[in-house]
Amino acid sequence: MTEQARVWMNGDLIDAERAAVSVFDHGVLVGDGVFETVKAQNGEPFALTRHLKRLARSAAALGLPEPDHDTLAQGTLEVLAAAPRWPLGRVRITCTSGPGPLGSARGDAGPTITIIADEQTPFPATGDVTVVPWARNERGALTGVKSTSYAENALALAYAKERGSGEAIFANTAGRLCEGTGSNVFVVRGGRLLTPPLSSGCLAGITRELTLEWCGGEEEDLSLDDLYRADEAFLTSTTRDVQPIRAVDGTALPAAPGPITLKAMEAFAARAAELMDP
């Protein structure tokens, strides 16, 4: 957190220093919650409606009560209005099942809803990735759900960082290319822009969705070799937009950014205004 972070909690703006949840919160105890990270540009949220829809889908998948769209949209605008107008900021929305007795399946005293606005340090212009040795389970109950159980992702990211990379890449249990710890992956081979289908176990990333819509990419079942031998490749995520991949496991790709990656980056720069929706 930076000194200027702002926090909204269960309906009120509160002092970030005092923003605290109960040790009995099942989000803390077992990761029983869902979340979104929304980009803020000059104090305005990007694609907020799409994020809140995905949050509702994640909550339904976990059996949590549906978070109220208008309350969260309002809370997001309030917390951003209270924050400096950073050129690049992020809003983290978290809904957990809330406090409850130890050993119970989930919280029973009402959900804990927090919205944090903070400044976002831009990602480097290109990034290296490391393929992790653990498989992502494409058939798990939490597959494709943006739940707060992200320890597997945190472990993989730490693994990649120890090896000098900025992001880790998962293959699934069938050895097929899946996603990063906080990003989706695209490869260019023979002039085609390709990304793994949702059946690979990847999250339905909003930046991925926009890249498919805006840049004419296709979903295709891909191997790790498709990444290692790509002509170009890039990561997509809310906080990165499109980030060219420079090297995979220490071996440089032929171009970063290559021409198709560059077109995707330009599409985001040119069309961002379309989704600055309240």
Tokens of 126: 């290109």
Per-position x/- string for 34-53, each x denoting binding to ligand PMP as judged by CB under 6 A, each - no binding:
---x----------------
Minimum CB separation from ligand PMP for residue 224, in Å? 17
Asked if 83 contacts 43 with a C-beta cutoff of 8 angstroms, the reply is yes
Taking CA atoms, 185 is separated from 17, 60, 236, in Å, by: 36, 26, 6
In contact, 248 and 127? CB cutoff 8 Å: no
Among 145, 206, 227, 264, binds ligand PMP (CB under 6 A): 206
Closest C-alpha among 238, 239, 233 to residue 257: 233
Contact 126, 153 (CB under 8 A): no
Q: Among 55, 56, 80, 203, indicate the residue that binds ligand PMP (CB under 6 A).
A: 203
Closest CB to ligand PMP: residue number = 205
Contact 45, 77 (CB under 8 A): yes
Q: Which two tokens stand for residue 117?
A: 């606005």
Among residues 165 and 207, whose Cβ is nearest to ligand PMP? Answer: 207
Separation between Cα atoms, residue 123 and residue 231, nearest integer Å: 22
Considering only residues 163 to 202 of the shown chain, the ones binding ligand PMP according to CB under 6 A are 179, 182-184
Q: Tell me: does residue 208 bind ligand PMP (CB under 6 A).
A: yes
Member of 96, 200, 236, 243 binding ligand PMP (CB under 6 A) = 236
Residue list 78-117, contact with ligand PMP (CB under 6 A): none
Residues in contact with ligand PMP, total (CB under 6 A)? 14
Contact predicate 253/232, CB 8 Å: yes
Closest to ligand PMP by CB, 208 vs 246, is 208
Asked if residue 232 lies in contact with residue 254, where contact means CB atoms within 8 angstroms, the answer is yes
Give the nearer residue to ligand PMP in terms of CB position, either 99 or 180: 180
CB of 265 to ligand PMP, least distance (A): 15
Q: Which of 237, 243, 245, 261 binds ligand PMP (CB under 6 A)?
A: 237
Please tell me the distance from the alpha carbon of residue 206 to that of residue 38, in angstroms, as a whole number. Answer: 10
Contact with ligand PMP (CB under 6 A) among 58, 94, 195, 207: 207
Shorter beta-carbon distance to ligand PMP: residue 112 or 148: 148
Nearer to ligand PMP, 82 or 270 (CB): 270
- Give 3-state DSSP helix, strand, coil % of the chain, rounded to 5: 30, 30, 40
The residue from 76, 94, 112, 238 that contacts ligand PMP (CB under 6 A) is 238
Take residue 111 and report the two structure tokens written for it: 């959900």
Which tokens hold the place of 204?
Answer: 């339905």
Binding positions for ligand PMP, rule: CB under 6 A:
37, 153, 179, 182-184, 203, 205-208, 236-238
